[in-house]
Amino acid sequence: MDNHQPTKPSRRKFLYNLGLAGLSLPLISSESNCSTKTKSNAQAMIDKNNKAGKLGIALVGLGGYASGQLAPALQQTENCYLAGIVTGTPSKIPVWKEKYGVPDKNIYNYNNYDSIKDNPDIDVIYIVLPNNMHAEYTIRGFAAGKHVICEKPMAITVAESETMLAAANKAGKLLSIGYRLHYDPFNLEMIRLVKEKIYGEVKSIDTAFSITPPKGAWRLNKKIAGGGPLMDVGIYCMQAVCYVLGTEPLATTTKTYPVSDKEKFIDIEETLDIEMEMPGGIIGKCRTSYSENQSYLQVNCENGWFRLEPAYFYGGLKFSSSDGRKFEIPPFSQQAKQLDAMAVSIKNKQVSKTPGEMGFRDMKIIEAIYKSMNTGRRVELK
């Protein structure tokens, strides 16, 4: 849902899909009439990937992001592969089996999820559930002795994210947050330009990410989402201010506005203007809304500016700058880059670039932003 802009299928992706179609398994109408050939093909897929030293990933929650982005990305990754699925919707199973050859023994539901601990094919559990389920399924994943990748936002409260970190430590396993843009070459170029002071010292950052979810979406339900656009897309803006500068905010002053539709925005904010006070007197201005469509990140420096627009979509990111500098690269999958990098860090027993601790930090920033929104005051972060 974060992308909200269908990306044009690249030629490479198209050819890749053709390749997949060539490999696709016989059509099956239900789990019970799965043919022996399908079973052996599925096992052969697992054996081949295990032999290649790839980590087996199980996706938990087969909604828009898992099915539209992560599963296709896992067909391109070199260090990990789609080994299993966890779903509460049995009707999705035949589709996933046919498309990705997931064997029956690696398919779980939310009741038997914990028995994943006995499955050696699954090394990593990837939580792609609504926000209020992240903590529970992450903690159960660690109890099952697996590494966990959890989607953003890490949780819906600071307290929850603390329990997730504690579970990771207790299990001695790694927790990463699905902050895909830390692995995206366009956003990495923004970081490089700042780090190398190509345009001199940074003066300010101006960024926005806004989308328009339909009425009834769980994203509009505070109990499930934990908040409004800040939890879903504003988090990218505050993240960008932090990763572009390589620092953390000292304080925030956040303003909200009366909602335009009281039935749609019952207990969440519709729009926020967030000011993040960063070290060195730099102000990061973030706007996020559920009634606008925006995706940009601009860094203003002593000697010019540079910008991504769109900045936060899955693809089609566009760089521009005050001096006409170019940054263009062939199409790629952000998710494949993220997943491969995380798999390598797990294999090397090292924390990833986006560890649970970063998610925890961000939950503290989010709570400060909401505190400022609710009190109308500047809130310091300690």
For residue 148, list its beta bridge partners. Answer: 125, 175
Closest approach, Cβ 196 to ligand NAD, in A, equals 28
Minimum CB–partner distance for residue 49 and ligand NAD (Å) = 24
User: Which secondary-structure segment (H or E) carries 60?
Assistant: strand 55-60
The strand pair at 124-127 and 147-150 is best described as parallel
187-219: buried (b, 16+ CB within 10 Å) or exposed (e) per residue? bebbbebbeeeebeebbbbbbbbbbebeeeeeb
Per-residue string for binding with ligand NAD, 206-225, x by CB under 6 A? ------------x-------
Q: In a 3-state reduction of DSSP, which class is residue 170?
A: helix
CB 291 within 8 A of CB 210: yes
Distance, CA of 199 to CA of 177 (rounded, Å): 31
Number of residues this chain uses to bind ligand NAD (CB under 6 A):
20
* 183 labelled catalytic: no
Instruction: Point out which span in 32-40, 124-132, 296-304, 359-367 binds ligand NAD (CB under 6 A).
Output: 124-132
One residue of 35, 89, 169, 322 binding ligand NAD per CB under 6 A: 89
Q: Does position 1 bind ligand NAD by CB under 6 A? A: yes
Torsion of CA 270, 278, 183, 232, to 10 degrees: -10
What minimum distance in Å lies between the beta carbon of 294 and ligand NAD?
A: 16
Cβ distance to ligand NAD smaller for residue 207 or 321: 207
* Under rule CB under 6 A, residue 2 binds ligand NAD: yes
- With CB under 6 A as the contact rule, which of the stretches 126-134, 208-216, 259-267, 348-356 interacts with ligand NAD? 126-134
Among 28, 98, 117, 130, binds ligand NAD (CB under 6 A): 130
Residues written for the chain: 382
Q: Is 165 a binder of ligand NAD (CB under 6 A)?
A: no
If the CB atoms of residues 135 and 202 are measured against ligand NAD, the closer one turns out to be: 135
Residue with smaller CB distance to ligand NAD, 149 or 301: 149
Rounded distance between C-alpha atoms, residue 286 and residue 362, angstroms: 14
Angle between helices 158-171 and 356-375 (to 10 degrees): 170
**129 counts as binding ligand NAD under rule CB under 6 A:** yes
Positions 174 through 203 that interact with ligand NAD (CB under 6 A): 178, 180
Degrees (nearest 5) of the Cα angle 87, 15, 83? Answer: 25
Q: Which is nearer to ligand NAD, 183 or 319 (CB)?
A: 183
Gap between the Cα atoms of 66 and 73, Å rounded: 10
Out of 20, 50, 88, 283, the only residue in the binding site for ligand NAD (CB under 6 A) is 88
Q: Minimum distance from CB of 223 to ligand NAD (Å)?
A: 10
Q: Is 370 a catalytic residue?
A: no
- Residue 214 has phi, psi (to 5 degrees) of -75, 155
Taking contact as CB under 6 A, which single stretch among the options 31-39, 127-135, 160-168, 239-247 is the one that binds ligand NAD? 127-135
From 199, 236, 290, 312, active-site residue? 236
Find the catalytic residue in 152, 173, 264, 337.
152
Preceding peptide of 310 cis, ω within 30°? yes
Angstrom distances, CA of residue 154 to CA of 143, 164, 176: 18, 9, 9
Q: Helix 158-171 vs helix 134-143: angle between axes, to the nearest 10 degrees?
A: 10
Cβ atoms of 224 and 130 closer than 8 Å: yes
Closest CB to ligand NAD among residues 195, 223: 223
Contacts with ligand NAD in 11-70 (CB under 6 A)? 61-66
Which residues of the chain form contacts with ligand NAD (CB under 6 A)? 1-2, 61-66, 88-89, 128-131, 151-152, 178, 180, 218, 232
What residues act catalytically? 152, 236
